[in-house]
Amino acid sequence: NTLDRVTRPLLVIGELTEPPEKVFGAISDLAADALGRIYVLDRQALELRMFDAGGRFQRNLGRGGTGPGEFRYPNAISISRDGDVVVSDFQLERLSIFTFKDGTLAHSRDLRLAVQPRDICHVGSRAFLLAETAHGLVHEIDSDGRVVRSFGSRREVVDNV
């Protein structure tokens, strides 16, 4: 059956019978980079887990806290054009950026924001945040976290009850 071939998973990460690093609490986002590594953001465990393309656990990135590379409410992941793994933290109003060189974590840095990010994505060299402010819903930011431009507004929904 064609539908069975389409819906059959190619890879499963996260079974209750697996080791602790493959058991998740509350997954808020996931992403894959150009090398096939898979990143799973666990909001409950306050960590980003990295797996190779075959689903084998590689390492944890980040942990709970307010210091560099630490999370309070990690809610989204994006992979930049350069391969940096970017995690947005709604509560800390910042991005944690993990940079790899030759497959190994080279360094991480935090980028303070003036908004509470709900989501992040990269399109080429550009980064966009979803964050509701008086200036709009979507904000393009530069590499220092400054807003370049904002657009979009929330549409009011009228309840006809």
Candidate from 1-5, 27-31, 42-46 with smallest mean pLDDT? 1-5
CB 71 within 8 A of CB 47: yes
pLDDT of residue 37: 94
> Which pair of structure tokens corresponds to residue 27?
């997954």
Average pLDDT over residues 82-102: 91
Candidate from 51-65, 76-90, 114-128, 147-161 with smallest mean pLDDT? 147-161
Q: Is pLDDT at 124 greater than 90 in this prediction?
A: no
Q: Is pLDDT at 95 greater than 90 in this prediction?
A: yes
pLDDT of residue 23: 84
Could you tell me the pTM of the whole model?
0.83
Q: Is pLDDT at 29 greater than 90 in this prediction?
A: yes
pLDDT of residue 158: 61
Candidate from 23-27, 87-91, 100-104, 157-161 with smallest mean pLDDT? 157-161
pLDDT of residue 132: 75
